Amino acid sequence: MPAERDLQRLLAGLRPRHVPGEFVYVTLPDLDPALAPLATVREAEGISHVIDRSVADAGGLAYDFVAGWITLDVASALDAVGLTAAVAAALTEAEISCNVLAGTHHDHLLVPADRVDEALAVLAALSGAS
């Protein structure tokens, strides 16, 4: 399936899906594949890993934010314009924080774990309005 670039088609086809579990960010000096990170970002302060909360707890790793994971199942192009802004605006209106991770095929949203259901409802409304 070719990646979509048209904003209205992207929004209409969002198909937000909750990925079960709770996820956290931990920062370490080096990449640690043993943590089975779902995402990593290299920063001057160290390597930020997004990992399952149970892995962090088992390893005694500190974290501040517990997230629920939502995948937008629409096949979005990496150079599509406006999808992140539209999603962020809708979640901002509902006062739901969101960290966006872009994969090659889909966008992934990390929202407060206790607000996943609200975020899914907001995204469904956004998609339905398009």
- Give residue-wise pLDDT tens across range 16-59: 999 999 999 999 999 889 999 999 999 999 999 999 999 999 99
DSSP codes, 40-87: EEEETTEEEEEEEHHHHHHTT---S-EEEEEEE-S-B-TT-SSHHHHH
For the chain, domains (ranges, CATH) are 7-129 (3.30.2130.10)
Contact 23, 67 (CB under 8 A): yes
What are 65-89's pLDDT values in tens digits? 999 999 999 999 999 999 999 999 9
Place 2 in a pLDDT band, splitting at 50, 70 and 90.
confident
Check residue 7 and give its pLDDT.
94
Position 1 pLDDT exceeds 80: no
